[in-house]
């Protein structure tokens, strides 16, 4: 049986997804970038390479990457994907 807290979390997640569904492509990209920027590992990456944030905003490949909810969710949950992403960003930024 689901308790009140679990039901609230489920409702909140469902409403969040519905809201995300109706965002424009640019708004979805901005939402996804903010989700990644909140993570400690990304904050450390920006400290090491301050130009990364600007690069991600301007590079067409990374803009497309961050427009995909599926890719960003995988980035946030999968350590191997995160490692590949960090290597790609570092290689691209130099």
**pLDDT tens digit sequence for 51-90:** 888 888 899 999 999 999 899 999 999 999 999 999 998 8
Read off the pTM: 0.75
DSSP per-residue string spanning 17-70 = HHHHHTS-HHHHHHHHHHHHHTSHHHHHHHHH-TTHHHHHHH-HHHHHHHT-HH
Q: How much is the mean pLDDT over the chain?
A: 87
Q: What is the pLDDT of residue 12?
A: 77
Asked whether the predicted pLDDT for residue 1 surpasses 60, the reply is no
pLDDT band at 4 (very low <50, low <70, confident <90, very high): confident
Where is pLDDT greater, at 7 or 78?
78
């Amino acid at each position: 049986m689901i308790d009140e807290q679990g039901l609230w979390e489920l409702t909140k997640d469902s409403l969040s997804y519905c809201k995300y569904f109706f965002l424009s492509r640019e708004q979805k990209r901005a939402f996804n970038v903010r989700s990644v920027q909140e993570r400690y590992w990304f904050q450390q990456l920006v400290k090491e390479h301050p130009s990364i944030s600007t690069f991600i905003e301007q590079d067409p490949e990374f803009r497309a990457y961050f427009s995909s909810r599926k890719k960003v969710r995988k980035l946030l949950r999968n350590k191997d994907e995160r490692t590949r992403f960090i290597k790609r960003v570092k290689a691209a930024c130099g």
